[in-house]
Homo-oligomer: A and B are copies of this chain.
Amino acid sequence: MSRIVECVPNFSEGRDQGIIDKIAAPFSAQEGVKLLDVQTDSDHNRMVVTAMGTPQSIKKAVIEAMGRAVAHIDMTRHQGQHPRMGAVDVVPFIPIQDLTMADAVALSREVAAEAATRFNLPIFLYERSATAAHRANLAAIRKGQFEGMAEKLKNPLWQPDYGPARVHPTAGVTAVGARAPLVAFNVNLGTDQAHIADAIAKKVRHIGGGLRYCKAMGVTLKGRDLVQVSMNMTDFSQTALYQALELIRMEAKRYGVAVVGSEVVGLVPMQALMDCAAYYMGLEDFSIKQVLESHLI
């Protein structure tokens, strides 16, 4: 088994295919890196790259891509619906295999230090890599957006962790950090009553007194006469998917409503579902190394 980290950098270009291709190219060219997805949105004027690989290969590819974004994106002329503060807006690292969160934090610091020096870019460490509590949340760092950063960086509370203490004239400001993998997990209820999904979502999510790494809201599934508790599980290694599912089942009983199904949207780390299999089967001493395919990665 290799050490594998995921990297999902967001760049502020979603319209010019030539520039999009230039920024994505280092991920497909780099040995040891697998480029999984390049998502672009012209309304947001933003691109999101999803890549996985060994830490040092990912580091090389993302620094190269950051350099290209700094060279080709001019934030003074950038317009788009999504909040943004820099050409390289945010670079999250997610530990996937044989890598601790501390390893991912260390990698994020290496990348931030090197990119800040090479591209003369002010960089904030965020999420698990943050150096102060008020800088952990990306939205807090990004508040004011590109246009407000010159003023913001005068505040001693908002000195960048790496690079100059002033905005890059065309590339703005960047956030780099480690975070846990995010799993989009939805649970369907056998009712069409939206208020029931809303009420259950409120009980199960962190801000309502529920599970720590669970964000949730009620959603109506058109065409199916069902409602859904739609969740973002922000750290499945701490808050397991089965915990959210069983808590929802418990709350649903209050309304005489059954859980009729669930779904995982998009990609999910193998461990998140293995934890569920192990829980429901009562598996003892199970290790991911027993999965045949883990030896092929």
Q: Is A119 an interface residue (CB 8 A)?
A: no
B residues less than 8 Å from A283 (CB atoms): 261-264
The answer for the CA separation of A245 and B277 in the assembled complex, in Å, is 12
Stretch at the interface among A158-166, A203-211, A288-296: A288-296
B residues less than 8 Å from A297 (CB atoms): 293, 296-297
Number of residues in A with C-beta < 8 Å to the partner? 42
Query: Interface digits, A236-278 against B, CB 8 Å rule (1 contact, 0 not)?
Result: 0000011001000000000000011111101111100110110
Contact A263-B286, Cβ < 8 Å, known A52-B295, A296-B52 = yes
The answer for the CA separation of A262 and B279 in the assembled complex, in Å, is 10
B residues less than 8 Å from A280 (CB atoms): 242, 276-277, 280-281
The answer for the CA separation of A19 and B30 in the assembled complex, in Å, is 40
B residues less than 8 Å from A268 (CB atoms): 290-292
The answer for the CA separation of A266 and B291 in the assembled complex, in Å, is 9
B residues less than 8 Å from A282 (CB atoms): 259-262
Q: What is the total number of copies of this protein in its complex? A: 2
B residues less than 8 Å from A127 (CB atoms): none
B residues less than 8 Å from A292 (CB atoms): 6, 52, 96, 181, 267-270
Can you list 30 contacts pairing A with B, beta carbon distance less than 8 Å? Answer: A4-B293, A4-B296, A6-B292, A34-B295, A36-B295, A52-B292, A52-B295, A96-B292, A97-B293, A181-B292, A242-B281, A259-B282, A261-B284, A263-B286, A264-B286, A264-B290, A267-B292, A268-B290, A268-B291, A268-B292, A269-B291, A270-B270, A273-B277, A273-B291, A274-B277, A276-B277, A276-B281, A277-B280, A293-B293, A296-B297
